[in-house]
Amino acid sequence: MKLTKSSPVNENNTKFLWGCFLAIVVVWFSAIFWVPKVSSLLITSAVECQVSLPDGRPTPECVNVLGSYGATGDLFGAVTSLFSALGLFAVAFTVHVESKARKSELKPFVISNLGEDGITLQDPNLGTEQNIDVLVPLVFKNVGEVAINVNISAELEYAGKKFQIDEVSLESPLVAEFDVHEIVRGTLKADAFKTVLGALEDEAETKTNGSNSAPSAIPVSLKINIFYESLSGVTWVTTVKYNITLTTPAHRDKLISLTKLTADRTTMWANKVSVPLTAKVAKGSWDYGLKESK
């Protein structure tokens, strides 16, 4: 997914177009004054028109000269059409730019925060079919204009691999006065189960053993994508990424009992216990912009 950064319309471009349009109009209407003067200057400067017939009419030579001037002047009819087309284009382009600017000004801005319960792993399959549920409670807030058709997708990432958790849609438009609570829930299976839980175990083991070596440089992360539309039909996207870790040896032991199918896994996961995950926003991960059209 790519985002197109929103930016204000360049007012200088709009002013320049309006300036060109006004200049065309001024030149066009000023022809009423300067065309007769130019014509008079051309006639008086022509040697053939310096004399006239006894009855005051111009000489045939002068008529020929004026005819050639007229033919030359007819060529400017095409120039007039060109100026008219340029003026029409300038107006149409300006209307388009201003219309786009008005749409962009109606900006909803939806942000999400993790709920108080935080991200949890729960309800594992204790048999040989390895899977576990992921619950991500989210709180959505709109700090801009009304947002409609709000859709949320959540995915786990590790070492370039992405595992989709779930996609949900809010039932109602999101307005600034209210917060909306929603739970994104999915199941980690097969490769996602082994990859994500294995990475969390390694991270927890490094911290538990007090090793001086730094934790893995590739953390497990949770990415939240929020797609929504303004009332003018423009689609916006807000994204944020959380780095998630385990914090206690007991939680790590629970995950190991699942990945290694240890005999005590039924006891360790009795009474529907869950494993909470610590989540911190990844530095510089917030992003906001227009959704790029395909």
Please state the domain extents for the chain.
3-105, 110-291
pLDDT of the residue at 7? 46
Q: Give me the phi and psi of 27, to 5 degrees please.
A: -65, -40
Distance between CA atoms of 284 and 266, rounded to whole angstroms? 41
Q: Which residue has the higher pLDDT, 16 or 123?
A: 123
Distance between CA atoms of 187 and 153, rounded to whole angstroms? 14
Q: What percent of the chain has pLDDT over 70?
A: 69
pLDDT of the residue at 97? 74
Q: Which helix (H) or strand (E) holds 139?
A: strand 131-142
pLDDT at residue 283 tops 70: yes
pTM given for the model: 0.64
Distance between CA atoms of 226 and 180, rounded to whole angstroms? 13
Query: What topology does CATH give the domain 110-291?
Result: Immunoglobulin-like (2.60.40)
Average of per-residue pLDDT values in the chain: 79
pLDDT of the residue at 270? 86
